[in-house]
């Protein structure tokens, strides 16, 4: 009885905790983080565990069952960390950015549609599938949206989305740390707002954040374990309640948990002409990243208060959590980055499904008319 109660409250698979395969995978992931850190690679505690997990699964041919959602716990800490950055001034700044957020999001989606069309022609894939795969929304969200539309191959959507996520997570940090954006600063000496001391109030706030996240999840809000804590901590920060910062060790653990989750998600499935399809998807993803770099430059020309680093990371077609971690590592403006990333995600979730259904239905009707006349 007690076991079922614990599972209900924490949503933890107790059997999974004692899995030797899971234990070895976590040890491998931590070693990967240490190696990446020793090599001074960007996002060491996210990319290291991610690649280590991919290698572990490929070698052992075994994908362990997680006792709880590693990503959710990692997002909880990241949401807390971002929320501390919010002030009254940043709240006002967010509203002034609404026109530019809308414009940049629409331009990004239009360019994604162009890449989808090119990908469809080069790989001879279903255009509907490449469109759904190329739109820079979350992997799980775009798969859920695509499942409701007839004629979409979910394998194609998954492969393109994973290719984009992988390209962004690898390519964006190296661009950010390159002399082009970060100048001659050494990534080893990057300062962060984290500390090494733990405060009991922080644990109380994290428990409250977890409860709020579970409630937000019931309301079907995107990324609830990040958005819920972010909003809660941001409100406390805006009303000037003193909040203890997240220790650096806890930040590393959160990044490692997200990295392990990503590593387990990288599965390309069965698809015809896989080599050509993957290479085309990766090239398209890199072009999308470079296009977001161009948009970032345009944004800085219209708004001189935003640095190029902040603009690029805020517009990069990656996950909100991953881009927030990257922004924090280079002292970029986290509230602005999160706002731009969240706006694009919400726009895609609430507007794009209707536009996709309308566009596909119209295209099907036109195709039907052509077939009748011919």
Q: Which one of 3.40.50, 1.10.287, 1.20.1530, 1.25.40 gives the CATH number of domain 2-365?
A: 1.20.1530
Give the tokens for residue 248.
């650096």
Res. 304 pLDDT band, cuts 50 70 90: confident
Contact call for residues 22 and 64 (beta carbons, < 8 A): yes
Q: Where are the domains of the chain?
A: 2-365
Burial class of residue 12, CB neighbours in 10 A (0-12, 13-18, 19+): middle
Answer yes or no: is pLDDT of 267 > 60.
Answer: yes
Cα→Cα distances 350→151, 152, 165, 337, 346, Å: 21, 19, 21, 20, 6
As a whole number, mean pLDDT of residues 6-30 equals 70
The answer to whether 108 and 344 have CB atoms below 8 angstroms apart is yes
Fill in the DSSP letter of residue 243: -
pLDDT per residue as tens digits for the range 135-178: 887 666 677 677 777 888 877 887 888 888 888 888 888 888 88
Better-scored residue on pLDDT, 368 or 130: 130
**Residues with Cβ < 8 Å from 178, sequence gap 6 or more?**
none
User: Residue 177's CB: how many other CB atoms inside 10 A?
Assistant: 21
In eight-state DSSP terms, residue 18 is T
CA–CA distance, 180 with 232 (Å, rounded to integer): 36
Give the pLDDT of residue 18. 54
* pLDDT cut 70: percent of the chain above it: 86
Q: Is the CB of residue 163 less than 8 Å from the CB of residue 281?
A: yes
């Amino acid at each position: 009885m007690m076991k079922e109660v614990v599972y209900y409250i924490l949503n933890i698979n107790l059997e999974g905790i004692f899995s030797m395969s899971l234990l070895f995978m976590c040890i491998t992931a931590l070693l990967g983080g240490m190696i990446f850190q020793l090599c001074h690679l960007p996002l060491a505690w996210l990319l290291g565990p991610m690649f280590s997990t991919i290698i572990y699964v490929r070698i052992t041919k075994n994908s362990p069952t997680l006792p709880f959602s590693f990503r959710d716990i990692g997002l909880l800490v990241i949401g807390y960390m971002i929320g501390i950055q919010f002030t009254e001034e940043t709240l006002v700044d967010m509203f002034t950015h609404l026109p530019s957020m809308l414009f940049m999001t629409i331009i990004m989606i239009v360019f994604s549609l162009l890449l989808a069309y090119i990908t469809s022609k080069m790989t001879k894939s279903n255009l509907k599938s490449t469109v759904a795969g190329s739109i820079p929304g979350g992997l799980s969200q775009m798969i859920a949206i695509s499942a409701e539309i007839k004629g979409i191959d979910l394998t194609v959507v998954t492969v393109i989305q994973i290719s984009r996520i992988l390209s962004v997570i690898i390519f964006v940090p190296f661009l950010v740390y390159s002399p082009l954006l970060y100048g001659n600063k050494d990534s080893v000496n990057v300062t962060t707002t984290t500390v090494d001391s733990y405060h009991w109030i922080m644990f109380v706030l994290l428990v409250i954040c977890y409860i709020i996240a579970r409630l937000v999840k019931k309301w079907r809000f995107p990324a609830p374990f990040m958005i819920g804590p972010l909003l809660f901590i941001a409100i406390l920060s805006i009303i000037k309640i003193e909040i203890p910062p997240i220790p650096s060790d806890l930040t590393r653990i959160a990044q490692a948990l997200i990295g392990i989750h990503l590593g387990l998600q990288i599965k390309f499935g069965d698809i015809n002409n896989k080599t050509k399809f993957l290479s085309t998807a990766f090239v398209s993803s890199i072009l999308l990243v470079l296009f977001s770099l161009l948009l970032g430059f345009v944004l800085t020309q219209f708004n001189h208060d935003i640095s190029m680093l902040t603009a690029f990371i805020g517009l990069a077609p990656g996950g909100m959590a991953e881009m927030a971690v990257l922004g924090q590592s280079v002292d970029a403006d986290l509230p602005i980055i999160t706002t731009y990333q969240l706006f694009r995600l919400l726009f895609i979730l609430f507007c794009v499904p209707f536009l996709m259904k309308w566009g596909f239905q119209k295209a099907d009707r036109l195709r039907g008319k052509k077939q009748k006349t011919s």
